[in-house]
């Protein structure tokens, strides 16, 4: 069963779908984002993300303990929320953030 995917911000959905759209991010970040989105769409659940060590998938702490981060490169992270609705899980793509 694949994860459902949703976006908190319409510009992130557009970033995945429209090749010419960059949302102001550097080209390398856009390419990494699209690669991560393919991995998210192919995953059966979040355990697949933990298994791929290169993603540095981790649960955030404090006021963001309901969110997870996934590495795009050394500096940028993809912020996600995972919602369980009955038998399905939905990944909500929240933001792309600069950690430095």
- Torsions phi, psi for 54 (to 5 deg): -65, -20
Segments of the chain assigned E as strands? 4-7, 58-59, 67-71, 76-85, 88-98
What distance in Å separates the CA atoms of residue 67 and residue 1, rounded to the nearest whole number?
22
For every one of its 100 residues, what pLDDT tens digit does the chain have, with 9 covering 90 and above? 668 999 999 999 999 999 999 999 999 999 999 999 999 999 988 999 999 999 999 999 999 999 999 999 999 999 999 998 888 899 999 999 998 7
Q: What is the largest CA-CA distance in the chain?
A: 38
| Structural domain containing residue 8 | 4-98
What distance in Å separates the CA atoms of residue 91 and residue 46, rounded to the nearest whole number?
9
How many domains is the chain built from?
Answer: 1
Q: Which residue carries 């298994």 as its tokens?
A: 51
CATH number at residue 23: 3.30.2310.20
pTM above 0.85, yes or no: yes
């Amino acid at each position: 069963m694949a994860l459902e995917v949703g976006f908190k911000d319409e510009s992130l959905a557009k970033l995945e779908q429209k090749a010419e759209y960059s949302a102001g991010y550097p080209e390398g970040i856009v390419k990494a984002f699209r690669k991560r989105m393919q991995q998210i769409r192919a995953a059966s659940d979040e355990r697949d993300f933990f298994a791929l060590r290169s993603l540095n998938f981790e649960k955030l702490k404090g006021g963001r303990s309901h969110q997870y981060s996934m590495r795009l490169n050394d500096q940028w992270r993809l912020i996600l929320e995972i919602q369980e609705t009955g038998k399905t899980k939905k990944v909500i793509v929240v933001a792309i953030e600069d950690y430095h």
